[in-house]
Structure 1
Amino acid sequence: MESVELSEFVADFAPAVRRVAETGERVRVTDGGEPARVLLAAGELAELEHFAQPDRHVHRRPRPTDERWRPHGPTEQGPYTRFVHSDGVRMTFLRDRAVVAELRSVAELEWVEATADGGRATAMPPEQAAAFEEFLARQPPFPDGIAWIAGDWREQRPFRVLEFLKGVAAEDVALAYGADPGDIADGLLLRDLGDGTEELMDVLAFGETGGWTWLGHHHDDYAGVLDPPPAERITLVATAAKAIYSFHYLRGGEHQNPFPVEDVLVPRPEMYELIWYTPGEMPFVPDAPLGFLNRHLRRAEEVTHWTDPFELFFAGLERAFGLALPRQHVTEGRVRCARLVSRG
């Protein structure tokens, strides 16, 4: 791979861009002799980005910055025009208004290539992918599901916070949250505590259903107590007094934002408020990390008997993740619990 020093490339980019455009070969760009960036054909990068789809992302895309090369408008050299992105690192090169080459940091390009490899491994022809998505959308939820609790949850009954965690045992989570080890060892049940509202405010109910650990409690300040984080984590928080009802989904410890976040300078919210959801309308931008939920919500609207938006949203989560709560056991208080004696 041909190499060029960054300062030389910035001053005279036309030869390197011409080589990439005509041969398709990459050019390594060094900074002080160390590999820093890569110039590659626009078509090659487009293919990589196609397979590195946002809803497959587990780790955040590296976005280095470089104050030395902040944009000052387009620069022309021969038939090529350079546009510098706001981070001062990425650059796009055009010829006759067509993009011919892109400059990316080594770290970002390695991330795109690794993510694209995973995407290619699961890629299907369009017809097969559409049929598979339809098959998934038609699968029934686990018994009981969670839509049945949506109305009570909205009023913070019996829990203000519902959490679902993948890859961690229920007792381990309860201990990490500060639950009384004695209550866990004794197998304390929710009904053993009676109906005292004040006492139940500092109680953690927990169990395992459908491959998920579920938690029910009244506190929403436990973020980060699990190390390492669970493979997946879904949190639903009801704040009735402020009419705030939020949905958070983390994968590998990273928030899956409801809206696209790349190339946006202002951070997007890490949560989605259920009051934003209107049945019959697409709640998430298709290329957002949560865009895959659209088809499950639409299917819940089509085939379930639920009509309230909160119940429908919960029904969509059932179908997307296989979430469930043991309805009879929860309503009768026959679920395990423990008093919170310390904050994890």
Structure 2
Amino acid sequence: MNSVELRDVMADFGRLINRVEETGERVRITDDGESAGVILPAAELAELEHFAQRVPGAPRPRPRTVQERPLGPEQQGPYVRYVHTGGVRRTFTRDRVIVAELLPVDELDWLEDKARTGRQSYMDPKQAAAFEEFLARQRPIGDGIAWIADGWRSQQPFTVLEFIKGPPPEEVALAYGADPRDIADGLLLHQVWERDGREGTDDFLDVLAFGQAAGWTWLGYHDFAGAFSGFPDPPPQQITMTAIEARAIYDFRYSKDGVHQNPSPTEDGAVPEMYELIWYTPGETPFDPSAPLAFLNAHIRRAEEETDWADGISLFFAGLERAFGLSLPRDAITSGHVRCAYPAPH
């Protein structure tokens, strides 16, 4: 990046701005050898501003000194120079189109730092498609969740499976209305099963099992009595699957940042609340390419190609493994060595 002393261009930035416009390169402005600012093309600045605004954080640096009345527009060659409050930042236009800007060094550093972070979470459509394909090829972590699909369809050991990203299991269980005493005591599911066997009860239908696997908090419970309410504050991601064997209803719901992700494009303002797994036919694309859930198609297709699961629900679960990295501890759940809690007393 070229450097120019401020005193050499103060009177007329015209030739310097012309160089920036033609080459698309930045020019550093120095004052007695110290960096005072940088002139950069308007298109580059627009890109920095765009990505920087995606990142919350410290406020933008403000001018150290404030002019009571910034200088008026000044013609310099084919360009018009506008001086901003503070006297350092300048905007240069030609034919009423912004061509370049001179920014203070600290403001540009702030912008570049924010933009660098903002870009890390952005991919253009082609990159996103390639990344989804890459993720779809990855093996599930741990036991996955396809192993539980057949039992879940028969309402064993739970009718509701939920996965929540972010909060720890104990916090989620409390938010769902679990008894704090059971959580503190470390009640285990096999203890409930054993007492049911001794006393001829079916209390296992009334408890909330919970744990953490592969970075997700998982919940398993029966929703017959509606004793456990949903998480009150929308988590970053939430997946819910409910089995109602008597009516052959097996549904899947996915929310991101509190917004329900529709299984199909909305029509006439209608927002589908869930996707019924019996709608999925192996070998066929489950979601319309324009639906918010279309990103799952590649993962489900990969599960069809690379797993031995034969029925649709197990294959769908295997696709979710690949899409979200979901897992459930098979040995711990089948043996009942997972934590659980009754509803808190009212």
- For residues 120 and 181 of structure 2, the distance between their equivalents in structure 1, rounded to whole angstroms, comes to 49
User: SS at 1:316's partner residue?
Assistant: helix
Deviation of 1:133 after TM superposition, in Å, equals 2.8
Q: Given the alignment of the two structures, is residue 163 of structure 1 paired with residue 162 of structure 2, yes or no? A: yes
Cα 1:246–1:120 shift into 2, 3 Å: same
- For residues 342 and 225 of structure 1, the distance between their equivalents in structure 2, rounded to whole angstroms, comes to 17
- Write the mapping of 1:48-87 to structure 2, written as runs, cut at 5 A: none
Aligned length: 225
* Counterpart code for 1:175: L
Match of 1:214 in 2: 218
User: SS at 1:246's partner residue?
Assistant: strand
- Write the mapping of 1:122-271 to structure 2, written as runs, cut at 5 A: 122-124=122-124, 126=126, 128-194=127-193, 196=196, 198-219=202-223, 221=226, 225-261=230-266, 264-271=267-274
**Please, which moves more after superposition, 195-204 or 141-150?**
195-204
User: SS at 1:208's partner residue?
Assistant: strand
Cα 1:129–1:247 shift into 2, 3 Å: closer
User: SS at 1:291's partner residue?
Assistant: helix
Match of 2:320 in 1: 317
Tell me the TM-score normalized by structure 1: 0.61
Cα 1:125–1:165 shift into 2, 3 Å: closer
* Counterpart code for 1:202: D
Q: Identity of aligned pairs, percent?
A: 60
User: SS at 1:172's partner residue?
Assistant: helix
Match of 1:295 in 2: 298
Cα 1:223–1:271 shift into 2, 3 Å: farther
Cα 1:265–1:224 shift into 2, 3 Å: farther
User: SS at 1:300's partner residue?
Assistant: helix
Tell me the TM-score normalized by structure 2: 0.61
Cα 1:160–1:130 shift into 2, 3 Å: closer
- Please list every run of 5 or more consecutive structure 1 residues that lacks an aligned counterpart in the other structure: 1-117
**Please, which moves more after superposition, 264-273 or 152-161?**
264-273
Cα 1:320–1:223 shift into 2, 3 Å: farther
* Counterpart code for 2:236: A
User: SS at 2:190's partner residue?
Assistant: helix
1:204-256 Cα distance to aligned partner (Å, 9 max, x none): 00001111000000117579743321111000000000000000101111110
Structure number with larger C-alpha Rg: 2
Match of 2:336 in 1: 333
* Counterpart code for 1:288: A
* Counterpart code for 1:312: L
Deviation of 1:198 after TM superposition, in Å, equals 2.1
Deviation of 1:342 after TM superposition, in Å, equals 4.7
Deviation of 1:130 after TM superposition, in Å, equals 4.6
Cα 1:265–1:161 shift into 2, 3 Å: same
Match of 2:108 in 1: none
1:26-73 Cα distance to aligned partner (Å, 9 max, x none): xxxxxxxxxxxxxxxxxxxxxxxxxxxxxxxxxxxxxxxxxxxxxxxx
Cα 1:286–1:224 shift into 2, 3 Å: farther
Runs of 4+ in 1 over 3 A off after TM superposition: 118-121, 128-131, 220-225
Cα 1:342–1:246 shift into 2, 3 Å: farther
Q: Given the alignment of the two structures, is residue 286 of structure 1 paired with residue 285 of structure 2, yes or no? A: no
- Please list every run of 5 or more consecutive structure 2 residues that lacks an aligned counterpart in the other structure: 1-117
Cα 1:270–1:186 shift into 2, 3 Å: same
Cα 1:287–1:125 shift into 2, 3 Å: closer
User: SS at 1:269's partner residue?
Assistant: coil
1:142-163 Cα distance to aligned partner (Å, 9 max, x none): 1100000000000000000000
Cα RMSD over matched residues? 2.4
Cα 1:120–1:141 shift into 2, 3 Å: closer
- Does the aligned pair in 1 maintain the 2:133–2:299 contact within 8 Å? no
- Does the aligned pair in 2 maintain the 1:178–1:342 contact within 8 Å? no
- Does the aligned pair in 1 maintain the 2:177–2:227 contact within 8 Å? no
- For residues 323 and 315 of structure 2, the distance between their equivalents in structure 1, rounded to whole angstroms, comes to 12
Cα 1:158–1:121 shift into 2, 3 Å: closer
- Does the aligned pair in 2 maintain the 1:160–1:238 contact within 8 Å? yes
Cα 1:145–1:175 shift into 2, 3 Å: same
Cα 1:342–1:320 shift into 2, 3 Å: farther
Deviation of 1:177 after TM superposition, in Å, equals 1.6
- Does the aligned pair in 1 maintain the 2:177–2:228 contact within 8 Å? no
